[in-house]
């Protein structure tokens, strides 16, 4: 790539801004000058041109210089559960004993195409699900209950090919992230020329991801960024606990995921599992409206009632 230099003078400053033909900018001259020892003052055109060539190469290789065309038709967000749970890193938090696993296993089975006929949450195409469970035996009991007592004629062998149970093992976040490319390579499927990467459920975050201090925002932000950028682009449900023992929808303003606020702030979405006094469970989609063109503010939420018995599965497309 050729480099165009603005206002090139005999005494060229080492920090002069350089511009590439594709419109990007770099402030690389000082670093390159120090690294190469090439003279920037009075050394002739050849050393400076060589330095510019190096700047161009480094500029084009830098991950933050890969430009995306804008102005094209907008893309629709990819959904795991249509209209309710999008792809990306989703934090799901609930109080201890609120029934997070009891609610999420049937929901994950819906993503795997194992559901009651006509379920309103049915995705157009199923995807593989990797369920990393802190309590593996509990997940086994839930799945057995659905298979044996739903009365929907579930094909157990078919379900086993779609729903993959993994016992949780607490590892450094870097080691957990290494599993992402393996899951993607082994479990991605194609449907109508659309790539469907597997859903990964981490239940729970604390049992799987070894964080030295869950209240450290810098560490929490680094963990979320790692799953956004180094987990092969897989959709992730990261399950945890709420900070306070508040469990009903009227307490929504006081609910937040336990630990550093960066867990919620940096995730794509946050879902809160609440239990009403009559035992009904709701998943509440929580979005903080920092700026709203319609003048709204505060917390916007939509709730979907979670009834595990209602989602007795049936293998389907």
Tens-digit pLDDT profile for residues 261-280 = 778 888 999 888 888 888 88
- What is the DSSP code (8-state) at residue 253? G
* Region of residue 143 (left: phi > 0; alpha: psi -120 to 50; beta: else): alpha
As a whole number, the mean pLDDT across the chain is: 76
d(CA 302, CA 81): 14
The predicted model gives 51-74 an average pLDDT of 69
Residue 292 predicted with pLDDT over 60: no
pLDDT value at residue 103 = 93
Residue 18 predicted with pLDDT over 80: no
- 300: three-class secondary structure by DSSP: strand
Residue 110 predicted with pLDDT over 90: yes
Whole-number percent of the chain with pLDDT over 70: 65
d(CA 228, CA 316): 29
Are 26 and 18 in contact by the 8 Å Cβ rule? The answer is yes
CATH number, domain 79-311: 3.40.50.300
pLDDT value at residue 212 = 84
pLDDT value at residue 302 = 43
Partners of 194 in beta bridges = 191
Spatial neighbors of 308 by CB under 8 A, at least 6 apart, are 99, 102, 103, 105, 106, 142
Spatial neighbors of 59 by CB under 8 A, at least 6 apart, are 1, 20, 24, 26, 28, 65
pLDDT value at residue 38 = 53
pLDDT value at residue 50 = 58
pLDDT value at residue 59 = 57
Q: Which residue has the higher pLDDT, 296 or 113?
A: 113
pLDDT value at residue 160 = 93
Spatial neighbors of 262 by CB under 8 A, at least 6 apart, are 217, 218, 220, 221, 224
pLDDT value at residue 283 = 85
The predicted model gives 220-249 an average pLDDT of 86
pLDDT value at residue 128 = 98
The predicted model gives 131-142 an average pLDDT of 97
pLDDT value at residue 293 = 36
Minimum mean pLDDT among 37-46, 83-92, 224-233: which range?
Answer: 37-46
Q: How far, in Å, are 105, 120, 213, 236, 307 from residue 311 at the CA level?
A: 10, 10, 37, 21, 7
Q: Which residue has the higher pLDDT, 181 or 149?
A: 181
Residue keyed to tokens 């469907």:
196
pLDDT value at residue 176 = 97
Model's pTM, two decimal places? 0.71
Q: Quick one: pLDDT band at residue 116, thresholds 50, 70, 90?
A: confident
Query: Cα angle vertex 164, ends 162, 169, to 5°?
Result: 165
Question: Percent helix, strand, coil in the chain (nearest 5)?
Answer: 35, 25, 40
Q: Locate CATH 3.40.50.300 in the chain.
A: 79-311
Q: Which residue has the higher pLDDT, 212 or 46?
A: 212
Give per-residue burial for 141-151: e unless 16+ CB within 10 Å, then b: ebbebbbeebe
Minimum mean pLDDT among 204-213, 216-225, 287-296: which range?
Answer: 287-296
Highest mean pLDDT: which range of 77-86, 174-183, 241-250:
174-183
- What is the DSSP code (8-state) at residue 299? E
């Amino acid at each position: 790539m050729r480099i165009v230099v603005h206002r090139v003078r005999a005494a060229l400053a080492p920090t002069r801004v350089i511009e590439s033909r594709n419109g990007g900018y770099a402030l690389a001259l000082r670093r390159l000058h120090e690294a190469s020892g090439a003279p920037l003052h009075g050394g002739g055109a050849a050393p400076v041109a060589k330095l510019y060539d190096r700047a161009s190469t480094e500029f084009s290789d830098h991950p933050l210089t890969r430009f995306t065309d804008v102005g094209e038709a907008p893309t629709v967000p990819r959904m795991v559960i249509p209209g309710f749970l999008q792809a990306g890193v989703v934090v799901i938090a609930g109080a201890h004993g609120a029934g997070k696993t009891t609610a999420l296993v049937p929901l994950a089975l819906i993503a795997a195409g194992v559901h009651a006929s006509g379920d309103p949450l049915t995705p157009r195409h199923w995807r593989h699900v990797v369920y990393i469970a802190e309590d593996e035996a509990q997940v086994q009991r839930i799945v057995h209950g659905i298979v044996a007592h739903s009365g929907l004629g579930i094909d157990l062998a078919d379900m086993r090919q779609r729903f993959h149970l993994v016992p949780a093992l607490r590892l450094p976040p870097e080691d957990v992230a290494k599993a992402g490319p393996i899951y993607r390579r082994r479990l991605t499927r194609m449907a109508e020329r659309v790539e469907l990467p597997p859903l990964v459920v981490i239940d729970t975050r604390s049992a799987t991801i070894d964080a030295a201090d869950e209240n450290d925002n810098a560490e929490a932000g680094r963990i979320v960024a790692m799953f956004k950028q180094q987990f092969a682009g897989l959709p992730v449900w990261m399950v945890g606990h709420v900070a306070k023992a508040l469990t009903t929808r009227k307490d929504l303003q006081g609910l937040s995921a336990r630990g550093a606020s960066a867990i919620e702030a940096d995730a794509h979405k946050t879902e809160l599992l609440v239990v009403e006094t009559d035992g009904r469970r709701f998943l509440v989609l929580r979005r903080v409206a920092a700026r709203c063109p319609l003048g709204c503010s505060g917390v916007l939420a939509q709730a979907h009632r979670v009834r595990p018995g209602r989602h007795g599965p049936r293998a389907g497309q």
